[in-house]
Structures are given as structure tokens and as C-alpha cells.
């Protein structure tokens, strides 16, 4: 087995980490796209449910108004009928009773008329709301469609870049020692895409823990892979 030049390996690992950081960033970006699309769909869904509810409310009010109008019309008919009956009545007592009945129905009708006016106002108000909401929804639909198109384009571009980066990586790792590479990749996988970290001011650049001087010295020597005692990432000295 040929001797591995550790200094070269570490230098290449640092380069590989740069590449992997780009790959992980791309992957995160790509993974987030379906969620972003779902959010857009959800906001549209919410708005159309609101609109449906408003339309339902509007229908209910109109049914109520119709009922009251029918009621009013039939009561008006009754009054007409009673008024003709007035002429055929023989006794004073009967006459007074029927007149009383008529004025009682008239009072009912006056209440009904007020209620119908309130309902008409309510229907107008809700119709206006419905048409406004419809307009907003249409506008939103257009916006969401544009956003989705943008995201699809973004996805395609990023997928292509992701593939390019991976191809570049495949070629690059050929140069690395298999054992060192497998150690690196294990850490990369376990530490969410960050395996190589510089020593910064005596601390680990990955987890910020203070490093013993002995560990820093060993990292400076570049004779073997030196790991952070806390996060187990591979330490290197920046030049
Ligand atoms: Zn660390």
C-alpha cells in the first residue's frame, strides 16, 4: 500500500467540504420547494373556502327574504279578502271584530316590511363582499400560478446545478484515500453536511468548543486526521 500524504488529503478534504457545502445547500433548497408550493395552494384553498362560506350565507339570506316576501304577499291577500267581507257583514260586532283582525295583520305586515328591508341591505352587503372576494381570489390565483411557474423554473435550474456538482464530486473523490473519505463521509452525514472545520481562535469552527493546545498542535502537524473531542468533526488549520 502506498503511503498517504496526509497534508494533501486534508487539503483535498477542505476542497471537498466546499463542494459538499454547495451540494447540501442545493439539496435543502430543492427539498423546500414542494413545501413552498403546498403553502401557496393552501392559501388559495383557504380563500376559496371563505368565498364559498360567503356565498352560502348570501343564499341563506335570500331564501329568508323570499320567505318573508311570500308571507307578506299572502297577508296582503288576506287583508284584501277581509276588506271585501266587510261589506257583507250584517252586525256591528262582527264588523268591529274583522276590522280589528285587519289592523292586527297590517301591524304584522309593517314588521315584515322592516325585516325585508334589513334583509335586502344584508343581501346587498354580502353580495358586494362576494364580488370583492372573487376578485381577490382571481388575482391570487394568477399570482400563485406565476409563483409556481417561477418555482418550477428554479427547481429545474437547481436540479441541473445539483447534478453538475455531484458529477464534479464523483470525479474529485477519486483522488482521495478511501479510508479517509469514508470517515469524512460518515461525519458529513451525521453532522448535517459539515465535516471539515477550521480551528478558529483556539476553538472548533463547528461547535465552538475550546480545544486543548495538544489537539491544535496535532492538527498543525497534519500527520493524521484530528477530530474535535466534542462534535467529532475533522479539524484543520486555515492558512
Ligand atoms: Zn467541534
Instruction: Look at residue 236 in the predicted model and tell me its pLDDT.
Output: 97
Taking the centre of ligand 1 as the mean of its atom positions, its distance from the CA of residue 224, in whole angstroms, is: 17
Q: Which long-range contacts (CB under 8 A, 24 or more apart) does 207-214 make?
A: 207/231, 207/233, 211/235
66 Cα: distance to centroid of ligand 1 (angstroms): 75
Q: What are phi and psi of 204, to 5 degrees?
A: -70, 130
pTM of the model: 0.74
CA 217 to centroid of ligand 1, rounded, Å: 16
Over residues 139-156, the mean pLDDT reads 96
Residues 175-223 have pLDDT tens digits of 999 999 999 999 999 999 999 999 999 999 999 999 999 999 999 999 9
CA 187 / ligand 1 centre spacing (Å): 11
Could you tell me which residues come within 8 angstroms of residue 27 by beta carbon, excluding any fewer than 6 positions away?
Answer: 162
pLDDT for 239 equals 78
In the predicted structure, residue 22 carries a pLDDT above the cut 80: yes
Beta bridge partners of 235: 197
pLDDT tens-place string over residues 27-64: 999 999 999 999 999 999 999 999 999 999 999 999 99
When the pLDDT of each residue in the chain is averaged and rounded to a whole number, the result is 95
Ligand 1 center to 14 CA (angstroms): 16
Residues 6 or more apart whose CB falls under 8 angstroms from that of 81 comprise none
Q: In the chain, how many H helices and how many E strands?
A: 4, 3
In eight-state DSSP terms, residue 174 is G
**How far is it, in rounded angstroms, from Cα 191 to Cα 193?**
6
157-165: average pLDDT: 98
Joined grid coordinates for residue 186: 460518515
| Ligand 1 geometric centre to CA of 228 (Å) | 5
Distances (CA, A) of 6 to 13, 49, 189, 202, 214: 10, 63, 22, 22, 18
pLDDT tier for residue 122 given thresholds of 50, 70 and 90: very high
pLDDT attached to residue 2: 59
Alpha carbon distances (Å) from 175 to 150, 170, 223, 234, 236: 38, 10, 18, 18, 19
Q: Partners of 151 in the beta sheet?
A: none
Amino acid at each position: 500500500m502506498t503511503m498517504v500524504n496526509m497534508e494533501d488529503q486534508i487539503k483535498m478534504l477542505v476542497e471537498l467540504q466546499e463542494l459538499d457545502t454547495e451540494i447540501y445547500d442545493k439539496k435543502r433548497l430543492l427539498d423546500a420547494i414542494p413545501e413552498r408550493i403546498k403553502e401557496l395552494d393552501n392559501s388559495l384553498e383557504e380563500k376559496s373556502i371563505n368565498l364559498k362560506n360567503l356565498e352560502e350565507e348570501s343564499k341563506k339570506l335570500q331564501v329568508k327574504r323570499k320567505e318573508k316576501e311570500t308571507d307578506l304577499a299572502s297577508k296582503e291577500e288576506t287583508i284584501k279578502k277581509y276588506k271585501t267581507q266587510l261589506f257583507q257583514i250584517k252586525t256591528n260586532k262582527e264588523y268591529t271584530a274583522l276590522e280589528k283582525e285587519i289592523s292586527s295583520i297590517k301591524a304584522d305586515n309593517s314588521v315584515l316590511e322592516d325585516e325585508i328591508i334589513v334583509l335586502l341591505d344584508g343581501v346587498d352587503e354580502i353580495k358586494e363582499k362576494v364580488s370583492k372576494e372573487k376578485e381577490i381570489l382571481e388575482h391570487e390565483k394568477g399570482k400563485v400560478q406565476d409563483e409556481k411557474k417561477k418555482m418550477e423554473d428554479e427547481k429545474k435550474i437547481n436540479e441541473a446545478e445539483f447534478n453538475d456538482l455531484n458529477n464534479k464530486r464523483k470525479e474529485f473523490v477519486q483522488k482521495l484515500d478511501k479510508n479517509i473519505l469514508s470517515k469524512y463521509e460518515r461525519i458529513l452525514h451525521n453532522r448535517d453536511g459539515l465535516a471539515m472545520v477550521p480551528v478558529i481562535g483556539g476553538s472548533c469552527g463547528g461547535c465552538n468548543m475550546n480545544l486543548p493546545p495538544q489537539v491544535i498542535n496535532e492538527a498543525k502537524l497534519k500527520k493524521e486526521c484530528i477530530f474535535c473531542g466534542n462534535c467529532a468533526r475533522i479539524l484543520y488549520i486555515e492558512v
